[in-house]
């Protein structure tokens, strides 16, 4: 069998492509950044074309979907392929609007440390896995299961870890939270008989959908409240209340799998986060540079809380690159409140996703106006160069920088560190 992956450099695709190659399949791929998208990328000997939900009509990659259809080649979503791969495996699926990557990473590391030899597919690079994929040789498979485009409905987990449910991906769910809740109820009903749902009992919406758990499936709750878990004395190397909650999910999984406490302790203490999850990028002029993927108000708020805990007394400067007009407009007021623990906020123009988004009557200036209502200094700066020039003259030992949002925003920190290296080596290059 030959598989062609459209967008094969995306984190959700490169792991699957590598796994199919591991299984002995022939693979090919294309990506906007490397090969570009053209009909010729799909050769006639391809049996199956795999696309992400982001490859939709109007997107650059859709030309390859049309080429495949014209040749009678089967086209499937990546979630369908993941569903087929894991159909006869013990799938641990991590779902919810926030925390998926961290919990998936921790759960994978937990099973590795417990000598269970899992396959793990994560939504970002994990140092211990040397990327997004760890190939194991046991029936265990740990993966993120995303709600976008209802992708998780293609999966049948043995163990489902459910973190939280709130309004997100409103391009997929135009009717808002009721539609999201209904989809999660469908998803929960797909957990296999004899399986378990490990649910965050502190989330009101999670509690509401648990009624859809099928007979023969058990429920384990975790959370902050004292009557929902035994007291645990573990050290955690990543900051923030949200990461404590992520760790509680993993300890609940360990309890269910009867993994000894010393194993859990080693994993939690040694974990320093996945790529772009409160990631330390370096120090410039005495200011630490932190990068995070957070793009939803809840994620931004949690990351800033962690920043405030770790850098108490420091001036917190935030550079945010918002993602999708369809996300920003309905959540505009929440975005305004999300930066309350920042001292200064710089916002880039909203990023338009081709084929998945449309330009609506909302702008970064609107976000700035909402942030200012909370007495936070905020403004729009359009280009990375202008932002970098400002930061070069602003950052010092009394400040900390957080870049947050879609992936290219981390390049600001990378550029600052490159400037620092150039400054440090300049005297020796004469």
Residue 342, pLDDT > 80, answer: yes
Residue 354, pLDDT > 80, answer: no
Q: Span 21-45, mean pLDDT?
A: 96
CA–CA gap between residue 161 and residue 143 (Å, rounded): 10
Q: Tell me which of 149-153, 155-159, 240-244, 387-391 is least confident.
A: 240-244
pLDDT per position as a tens digit, 16-29: 999 999 999 999 99
Residue 423 confidence (pLDDT):
79
Q: Span 389-399, mean pLDDT?
A: 97
Which residue matches tokens 């995303």?
146
Q: What angle do CA 285, 287, 289 make, to 5 degrees?
A: 115
CA–CA gap between residue 384 and residue 419 (Å, rounded): 14
Residue 421 confidence (pLDDT):
86
Phi-psi region of 131 (alpha: psi -120 to 50; beta: other; left: phi over 0): left
Confidence of residue 315 (pLDDT cuts 50, 70, 90): very high
The domains located in the chain, with CATH, are 2-78 (3.40.50.720), 87-270 (3.40.1190.10), 279-426 (3.90.190.20)
Residue 272 confidence (pLDDT):
87
Which is nearest to 194 in space by CA: 215, 220, 222, 209? Answer: 215
Residue 323 has, within 13 A of its CA and on its CB side, a CA count of 17
Residue 65, pLDDT > 80, answer: yes
Residue 389 confidence (pLDDT):
96
Residue 428 confidence (pLDDT):
54
Beta bridge partner(s), residue 400: 288, 316
Residue 226, pLDDT > 80, answer: no
Residue 308, pLDDT > 70, answer: yes
Which is nearest to 381 in space by CA: 409, 352, 421? Answer: 409
Prediction pTM value: 0.88
Residue 227, pLDDT > 60, answer: no
Residue 398, pLDDT > 70, answer: yes
Residue 170 confidence (pLDDT):
84
Residue 429 confidence (pLDDT):
47
Phi, psi dihedral angles at 129 (to 5 degrees): -100, -5
pLDDT per position as a tens digit, 100-148: 999 999 999 999 999 999 999 999 889 999 999 999 999 999 999 999 9
Residue 36, pLDDT > 70, answer: yes
| 136/234: higher pLDDT | 136
Residue 114 confidence (pLDDT):
98
In this structure, what token pair is assigned to residue 410? 């981390």
Residue 359 confidence (pLDDT):
80
Residue 355 confidence (pLDDT):
62
Percent of the chain's residues with pLDDT above 70: 96
Q: Span 70-98, mean pLDDT?
A: 97
Residue 427 confidence (pLDDT):
61
Residue 357 confidence (pLDDT):
62
**Residue 68 to residues 26, 158, 339: CA-CA distances in angstroms?**
17, 34, 45
Residue 235 confidence (pLDDT):
83
Q: Helices H, strands E: what count in the chain? A: 14, 17
Q: Span 378-397, mean pLDDT?
A: 97
């Amino acid at each position: 069998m030959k598989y062609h992956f459209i967008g094969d450099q995306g984190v959700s695709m490169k792991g699957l492509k590598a796994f199919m190659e591991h299984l002995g399949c022939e693979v090919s791929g294309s990506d906007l950044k490397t090969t570009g998208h053209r009909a010729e990328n799909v050769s006639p000997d391809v049996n199956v074309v795999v696309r992400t939900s982001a490859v939709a009509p109007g997107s650059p990659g859709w030309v390859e979907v049309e080429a495949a259809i014209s040749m009678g080649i089967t086209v499937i979503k990546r979630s369908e392929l993941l569903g087929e791969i894991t159909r006869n495996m013990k799938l641990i699926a991590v779902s919810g609007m926030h925390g998926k990557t961290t919990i998936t990473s921790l759960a994978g590391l937990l099973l590795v440390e417990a000598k269970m030899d899992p396959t793990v597919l994560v939504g970002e690079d994990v140092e211990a896995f040397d990327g997004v994929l760890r190939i194991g040789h046991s029936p265990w498979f740990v993966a993120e299961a995303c709600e976008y485009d209802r992708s998780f409905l293609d999966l049948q987990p043995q163990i489902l870890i459910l973190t939280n449910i709130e309004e997100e991906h409103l391009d997929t769910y135009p009717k808002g939270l009721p539609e999201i809740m209904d989809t999660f109820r469908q998803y929960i009903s797909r957990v296999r008989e004899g399986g378990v749902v490990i649910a965050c009992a502190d989330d009101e919406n999670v509690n509401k959908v648990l009624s859809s758990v099928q007979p023969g499936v058990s429920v384990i709750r975790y959370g902050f409240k004292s009557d929902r878990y035994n007291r645990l004395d573990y050290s955690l190397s990543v900051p923030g209340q949200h990461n404590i909650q992520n760790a509680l999910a993993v300890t609940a999984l360990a309890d269910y799998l009867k993994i000894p406490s010393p194993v859990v302790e080693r994993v939690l203490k040694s974990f320093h986060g996945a790529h772009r999850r409160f990631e330390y990028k370096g120090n410039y002029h005495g200011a630490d540079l932190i990068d995070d993927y957070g793009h939803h108000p809840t994620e931004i708020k949690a990351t800033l809380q962690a920043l405030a805990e770790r850098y108490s007394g420091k001036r917190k400067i935030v550079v945010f690159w918002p993602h999708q007009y369809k996300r920003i407009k309905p959540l505009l007021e929440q975005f305004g409140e999300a930066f309350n623990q920042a001292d200064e906020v710089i916002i880039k123009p909203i990023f338009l996703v081709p084929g998945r988004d449309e330009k609506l009557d909302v702008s970064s200036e609107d976000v700035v106006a909402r942030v200012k209502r909370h007495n936070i200094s905020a403004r729009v700066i359009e280009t990375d160069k202008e932002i970098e020039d400002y930061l070069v003259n602003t950052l010092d030992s009394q400040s900390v920088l957080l870049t947050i949002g879609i992936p290219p925003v981390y390049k600001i920190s990378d550029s600052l560190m490159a400037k620092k290296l150039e400054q440090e080596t300049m005297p020796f290059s004469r």
